């Protein structure tokens, strides 16, 4: 029996991999940088208890802090990226563990700064800014620090909380989860109708679940879910620990709940989350209509979850990587030559993108980089419309980093997840519009509808459902209720049942294990931001595409803002107010219009 397998990492073409040598030329250089950071940590600790000596001392402390954090950021970025593309590489995994520990040490070393600044007093600090011009760039930082001051603990407590970033990471999945799902988890192969076996891996599952062969889709979806179900208790233990970690940090910093802790950090009202969930539930009938249309389009008597990504046409467009880059550059042209040139250089000469498909490559796709590195992208490119979409999405993130790092000092060189998903979905909205206008082949148009609905399905159906799951699970943990794999599977299944309605055949356990397949749930209330992000993205894209004066310039300023302003303020300056439900409602109108477009094709018998 023939079997298709994934190649080992060492056999993939160099041009399909990212250029990590732009960070460190070799592992030896990485080890040297690692040691240099460790040796610099006493330099920053020497300022502890000395910041009240005056503005000059504060400026010197900030200079050393930024040097330590920037260099440790490069060390951890290199190591994590190296490990991500081959989880089975034990040496790389070891370096990733070392890097995480070093970054945790670095955060602990600088953890005294905020409590000491709070103790000095903000009236004094404001006066010091007038005396020392170099301190004036920290005005927003200090304004935000004053806002957060009720939740900043003593130097000793802050040091302990900083040390927990290694064993209890808040922005990445724990090592145990990453190793389990990317290296140790094994899946029974998918099968074609004629009996050929296809290897299931994290870098191949997406393409298998959208295969034209229904038997491939069914076996891929079922066997992928079964792989997670086999470890449901271990995965539930890891996930529960993450929810308890969030509750711990919320209590440690005097927040009423994990949700409020997550939102307050970026000055986002709870109403933003509540508006999203309410509008999502109100618009579930649009999804029910879509499931019905897909069933009719394919002529199925019953519609299953594994049919959601079934292609609407057998003539799927083949889109090689270079063609995708060309189309993306054309679609992003309204943002100007500088944006397009940076994007093209990153995709071609500078090798930002690791697009190879290989055994051991971790699940999903992401953009990653720190101040002083390239904005790298990890994905598995499949020469299809969905890979073009993923590349477009991640380039939105990478160009966001590119503009932020070019225009902001280190202190504002990061931005919140809340605005990150706006940039990625903005790119997809522009490229989709460009391709709808320029690629008139009926099969290509159908493929674009598939891509659009796949994107909305992930960000406007799966992610809000996961957000509801996350909210309820945090509540249970915070109130001391018992949680286990079975109760988590049951809750997840119930929420998806509401979303699927009576249109989708229900497989409780396989649907219920969905929470285990998303590492995003290890990042405290991350998933809802995909839905607010796609809402803000479509509002801003509409401004640019309709030719509103200054729209492109406003958007580029938004990309350049970093954390120099609060997220909602940056978005308002660009032209969208996400404190109101209207952007979410309008994005659902865009979704409904795509469903209308598909319905007209189905009614005319063109699908």
- Residue 167 backbone phi and psi in degrees, to 5: -75, -25
Q: How far apart are CA 30 and CA 361, in angstroms?
A: 22
Amino acid 362: pLDDT: 82
CATH class, 3-163 region: mainly alpha
Per-residue pLDDT tens for 249-278? 999 999 999 999 999 989 999 999 999 999
pLDDT tens digit sequence for 322-336? 999 999 999 999 999
* Pick from 555, 587, 590, 572: nearest CA to 396: 555
Catalytic residue positions? 394
Give the per-residue pLDDT at 320. Answer: 97
Q: Where are the domains of the chain?
A: 3-163, 245-313+416-607
Using alpha carbons, list the distances in angstroms from residue 73 to 58, 219, 346, 514, 569. Answer: 22, 41, 21, 32, 27
Q: Could you tell me the sign of the dihedral formed by the alpha carbons of 520, 583, 260, 490, in that order?
A: negative
- Cα–Cα distance measured from residue 398 to residue 417, given in angstroms and rounded to the nearest whole number: 13
In the prediction, which pLDDT does 2 show? 45
Q: Matching CATH topology for 3-163 and 245-313+416-607? A: no
b/e map 594-607, b = 16+ CB within 10 Å: bbeebbebeeeeeb
312 or 57: which leads in pLDDT: 57
Chain-wide mean pLDDT for the chain? 94
- pLDDT at position 183 is 82
Beta bridge partners of residue 377, listed in sequence order:
353, 367
Task: State pLDDT tens for residues 202-241.
Answer: 878 988 999 999 999 999 999 999 999 999 999 999 999 9
Query: For residue range 499-525, what is the model confidence (pLDDT) as tens digits?
Result: 999 999 999 999 999 999 999 999 999
Residue 364 has pLDDT above 90, yes or no: no
Helical residues (DSSP H) of 513-566, grouped into ranges: 528-545, 551-560
Direct distance between the N- and C-terminal alpha carbons of the chain, in angstroms, rounded to an integer? 34
Q: What's the pLDDT at 1?
A: 37
Q: What's the CATH superfamily of 245-313+416-607?
A: Oligoendopeptidase f, C-terminal domain (1.10.1370.20)
Cβ-contact 86, 361 below 8 angstroms:
yes
pLDDT for residue 4 is more than 70 = no
Does position 449 have pLDDT exceeding 80, yes or no?
A: yes
**Residue 155 pLDDT > 90, yes or no?**
no
Widest distance between CA atoms in the chain: 78
Provide the pairing of β-strand 376-378 with 197-198: unpaired
Which tops the pLDDT comparison, 70 or 161? 70
Residues contacting residue 394 through CB under 8 Å, at least 6 positions apart = 353, 365, 366, 367, 377, 379, 424
| Distance, CA of 340 to chain centre | 23
């Amino acid at each position: 029996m023939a079997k298709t397998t994934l190649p080992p990492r060492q056999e993939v073409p160099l041009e399909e991999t990212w250029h990590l040598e732009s960070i460190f030329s070799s592992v030896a250089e990485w080890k040297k940088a690692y040691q240099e950071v460790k040796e610099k940590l006493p330099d920053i600790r020497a300022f502890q208890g000395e910041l009240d000596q005056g503005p000059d001392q504060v400026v010197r402390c900030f200079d050393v802090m930024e040097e330590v954090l920037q260099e440790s950021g490069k060390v951890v970025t290199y190591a994590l990226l190296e490990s991500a593309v081959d989880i089975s590489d034990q040496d790389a995994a070891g370096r990733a563990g070392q890097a995480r520990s070093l970054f945790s040490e670095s955060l602990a070393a600088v953890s005294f700064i905020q409590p000491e600044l709070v103790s000095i007093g903000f009236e004094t600090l404001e006066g010091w800014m007038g005396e020392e011009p170099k301190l004036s760039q920290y005005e927003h930082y200090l304004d935000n620090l004053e806002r957060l001051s009720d939740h900043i603990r003593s130097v000793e407590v802050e040091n302990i909380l900083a040390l927990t970033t290694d064993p209890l990471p808040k922005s990445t999945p724990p090592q145990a989860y990453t190793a389990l799902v990317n290296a140790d988890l094994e899946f029974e192969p998918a099968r074609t109708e004629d009996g050929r076996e296809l290897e299931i891996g994290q870098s191949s599952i997406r393409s298998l679940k959208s295969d034209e062969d229904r038997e491939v889709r069914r076996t891929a979806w079922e066997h992928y879910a079964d792989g997670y179900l086999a470890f449901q208790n271990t995965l539930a233990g890891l996930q529960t620990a993450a929810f308890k970690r969030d509750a711990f940090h919320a209590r440690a910093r005097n927040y009423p709940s994990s949700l409020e802790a997550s939102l307050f950090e970026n000055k986002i009202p709870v109403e933003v989350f509540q508006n999203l969930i309410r509008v999502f539930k109100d618009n579930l009938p649009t999804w029910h209509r879509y499931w019905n249309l897909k069933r009719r389009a394919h002529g199925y008597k019953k519609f299953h979850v594994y049919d959601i990504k079934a292609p609407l046409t057998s003539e799927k467009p083949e889109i090689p990587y270079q063609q995708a880059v060309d189309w993306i550059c054309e679609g992003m042209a309204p943002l100007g030559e500088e944006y397009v040139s940076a994007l093209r250089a990153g995709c071609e000469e500078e090798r930002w993108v690791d697009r190879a498909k290989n055994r051991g490559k971790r699940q999903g796709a992401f953009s990653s980089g720190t101040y002083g590195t390239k904005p790298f992208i990890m994905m598995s490119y499949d020469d299809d419309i969905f890979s073009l979409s993923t590349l477009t999405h991640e380039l939105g993130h990478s160009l966001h980093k590119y503009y932020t790092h070019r225009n902001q000092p280190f202190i504002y060189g990061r931005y919140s997840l809340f605005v990150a998903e706006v940039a990625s979905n903005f790119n997809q909205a522009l490229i989709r519009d460009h391709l709808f206008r320029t690629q008139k082949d009926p099969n290509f148009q159908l493929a674009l509808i598939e891509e659009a609905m796949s994107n909305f399905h992930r960000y406007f159906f799966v992610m809000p459902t996961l957000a509801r799951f996350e909210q309820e699970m945090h509540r249970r943990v915070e109130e001391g209720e018992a949680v286990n794999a079975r109760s988590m599977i049951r809750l997840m299944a119930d929420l998806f049942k509401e979303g699927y309605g009576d249109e989708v055949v229900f497989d409780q356990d396989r649907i219920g294990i969905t929470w285990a397949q998303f590492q995003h749930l290890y990042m405290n209330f991350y998933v809802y931001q995909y839905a607010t992000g796609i809402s803000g993205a479509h509002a801003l894209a509409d401004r640019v595409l309709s030719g509103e004066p200054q729209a492109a310039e406003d958007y580029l300023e938004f990309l350049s803002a970093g954390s120099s302003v609060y997220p909602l303020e940056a978005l308002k300056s660009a032209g969208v107010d996400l404190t109101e439900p209207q952007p979410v409602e309008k994005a659902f109108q865009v979704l409904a219009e795509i469903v209308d477009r598909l319905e007209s094709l189905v009614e005319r018998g063109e699908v």
